A and B are shown apart, each in its own frame.
Chain A
């Protein structure tokens, strides 16, 4: 089987225990909720988007280690990006996890986010890793309905 340590890499432990940018964001102007009905995980992503792009990102909610770490890493990665760049990064990240399994797992352009590349070997956990990202995507698009990954 795929090695457990490949799923739970050091960076993931670290971010799941001390999530960055956790909690409601005052001044957020785009907010979306995400829910994984299968495991009950819920996240809310708060974005402060201004003319030049994503000024700040926060998240809160409750999820497994993969879900929480992925959300935490995401807030760091999206902060400061232009809207098109943020959308492109979301797509690139989700493609790494759900794309062609024969393609190389890691994507050098994703840098630190490659810590989550091991998740693709655990198909059941992919939705844990993508929940916050799909929620951010919905927030960027101005969605008001909670999104679901299942």
Chain B
């Protein structure tokens, strides 16, 4: 961070009544449950009617979350008052923009309890963050015969980058399989690690299909004992759970702003600084260099080494607002609400005739993601009829084809909730599914 930005942040921190610190210290309302009906008033998109007079029941937050006015206004405000390119300008707007961009890095480092802001690398999304690790860390440090372990439940973005690397470098891939309840078969991991060739273990914090919350800290202990590095896909973790990357002992943790109330176009890669330091550049270009000669260049220190070109800037202003909003609520309360939602939804959905609901039955290890099949009715037909009732769900393979193969389903229907999802929306879903059944004569 440049000095001016750091100074500005200290000043803000000192005078603003420490609004930001609410992301670190639990609020006094720690034990009061969230009130989704009240929170929804903050989300303009959720207040609309669809298909004429149907209330919108948005159950697709695992794909992307809706945005509170606080975030929308922060982005608007940035463009109205502070728009400039970062780091290079000497004028007032460039300084403002740089301050916002670098302060946002600090805020996000607090949000996940990183050791320092320079452990936060901005990317365009979580996919890019994971590719960055594969390219800049793995391509540099792994050699033919080394092993990368991932799992059956990964999103394509935590499979394909490793497959590309494996093909290019002769790296061996190993996949941890699943127990029948949709949890990881950790004995597979133990067996792979015992082989002594594993250099990287890539695992999702929370499955975007099953909702399974993986025991990341336990996995990290095993991985580190074997001298390997742990890469965590936090896309469904950071928005829904209190995340402390140091408590989890994650070496890398990737997530997206847009799934946690923030804007699209911004991803985050957390990396332990000692590892970031040892990594080669990702994209080459402006911003990431120190000196460029006609035949060679030298590169900046992390995180800027990995941020070539004009980055998403307004998006970081939006991300600050998102972490403020979440911090004010308290992530523990968000999780508590979603856990109750899980218990309620599992009970209600399992009573629908013909329901085959995937994923763990225990709300303690499950996020509010519900992938299911309904009799012989195709997922697309289910989603279409639900949409006619104003209920937004997703149908397909959810970018997890190896998991679909394991489930024995070409596609599933997925409903997913967030802090603004209420019990009566689960009721609406159940009612919608009854309509699906009667519509298709099931």
8 Å CB contact of A4 from B378, B388, B395, B396: B388
Main secondary structure of the interface of B (DSSP, over half): mixed
Query: In the bound complex, do residue B411 and residue A8 qualify as a contact, i.e. CB atoms below 8 Å apart?
Result: no
Query: In the bound complex, do residue A65 and residue B410 qualify as a contact, i.e. CB atoms below 8 Å apart?
Result: no
Q: A39 in the interface, Cβ–Cβ < 8 Å?
A: yes
Whole-angstrom CA separation of A1 from B392 in the bound complex: 14
Query: In the bound complex, do residue A125 and residue B396 qualify as a contact, i.e. CB atoms below 8 Å apart?
Result: no
Whole-angstrom CA separation of A7 from B439 in the bound complex: 12
Q: B195 in the interface, Cβ–Cβ < 8 Å?
A: no
Within 8 A of A (CB), among B47-63: 50-52
What A residues does B186 contact at CB under 8 A? none
Query: In the bound complex, do residue B384 and residue A40 qualify as a contact, i.e. CB atoms below 8 Å apart?
Result: no
Whole-angstrom CA separation of A8 from B388 in the bound complex: 12
Q: A106 in the interface, Cβ–Cβ < 8 Å?
A: no
What B residues does A42 contact at CB under 8 A? 410
Query: In the bound complex, do residue B384 and residue A122 qualify as a contact, i.e. CB atoms below 8 Å apart?
Result: yes
Q: A62 in the interface, Cβ–Cβ < 8 Å?
A: yes
What A residues does B401 contact at CB under 8 A? 40
Nearest-CB distance from A17 to chain B (Å)? 8
Query: In the bound complex, do residue B51 and residue A125 qualify as a contact, i.e. CB atoms below 8 Å apart?
Result: no
Tally B residues with Cβ within 8 Å of A.
21
Query: In the bound complex, do residue A62 and residue B380 qualify as a contact, i.e. CB atoms below 8 Å apart?
Result: no
Name the residue in A38, A42, A64 with the highest tally of chain B Cβ atoms < 10 Å from its Cβ.
A64
Query: In the bound complex, do residue A39 and residue B380 qualify as a contact, i.e. CB atoms below 8 Å apart?
Result: yes
Q: B385 in the interface, Cβ–Cβ < 8 Å?
A: yes
8 Å CB contact of B378 from A7, A13, A63, A122: A63
Within 8 A of B (CB), among A1-56: 1, 4, 7-8, 13, 17, 38-42
Query: In the bound complex, do residue A65 and residue B397 qualify as a contact, i.e. CB atoms below 8 Å apart?
Result: no
Residues in chain A within 8 A of chain B (CB atoms): 1, 4, 7-8, 13, 17, 38-42, 62-67, 122, 125, 128
25 of the cross-chain contacts (CB-CB < 8 Å) are A1-B50, A1-B52, A4-B384, A4-B388, A4-B439, A13-B440, A13-B441, A38-B396, A39-B379, A39-B380, A39-B396, A39-B411, A40-B396, A40-B401, A40-B410, A62-B410, A63-B378, A64-B378, A64-B380, A64-B381, A66-B380, A67-B378, A122-B384, A125-B380, A128-B380
**Closest A-B pairs by Cβ, 3 of them:** A40-B410, A64-B378, A64-B380
Q: A39-B411, A41-B410, A64-B378 are in contact. List 15 more A-B contacts (CB 8 A).
A: A1-B50, A4-B384, A4-B388, A13-B441, A17-B441, A39-B379, A40-B396, A40-B411, A63-B378, A64-B380, A65-B378, A66-B380, A66-B381, A67-B378, A125-B384
Residues in chain B within 8 A of chain A (CB atoms): 50-52, 378-381, 384-385, 388, 395-397, 401, 404, 409-411, 439-441
